[in-house]
Amino acid sequence: MQFNKTAYKTAKERIISLIKGSHDWEMTEGFIADGLICPDVYEKQPVRILCILAESYGYNEEGMVDIEDQPKHDILGLSNRKVQTPRRLASLLYLLQSAFEKGTMPELEQWRALKLLTQSAENTATLQEALAKVAWVNVKKASNGNGSKLDATKAHSHARRNEVILREQIQSIAPDLIFVCGQVTFSALLNMGLLGPKTVSGRGWQIQDAGNGTRVMELSHPAYFRDWNSYDKIYRNYKIIHSQLS
pLDDT digits (tens, 9 = 90+) for 189-198: 999 999 999 9
pLDDT tens-digit map of 102-129: 887 788 999 999 999 999 999 999 999 9
Q: Domain coordinates of the chain in residue numbers?
A: 5-245
d(CA 152, CA 191) in angstroms, rounded, equals 14
What pLDDT score was predicted for residue 147? 63
Handedness of CA 39, 44, 50, 56 (dihedral sign): negative
What pLDDT score was predicted for residue 105? 77
- Phi-psi domain of 126 (left: phi exceeds 0; alpha: psi -120 through 50; beta: other): alpha
pLDDT tens-digit map of 125-168: 999 999 999 999 999 999 998 666 778 898 899 999 999 999 99
pTM: 0.96
What pLDDT score was predicted for residue 148? 64
What pLDDT score was predicted for residue 150? 78
| Mean pLDDT score across all residues of the chain | 94
170, 168, 191: which is closest to 179 by C-alpha?
170
Pick the residue with more confidence: 81 or 200? 200
DSSP helix, strand, coil percent of the chain (3-state; round to 5): 45, 15, 40
User: Is residue 225 pLDDT above 90, yes or no?
Assistant: no
What pLDDT score was predicted for residue 233? 97
- Phi-psi domain of 64 (left: phi exceeds 0; alpha: psi -120 through 50; beta: other): beta
What is the CATH T-level fold of the domain 5-245, as seen in this structure? Uracil-DNA Glycosylase, subunit E (3.40.470)
CB 176 within 8 A of CB 214: yes
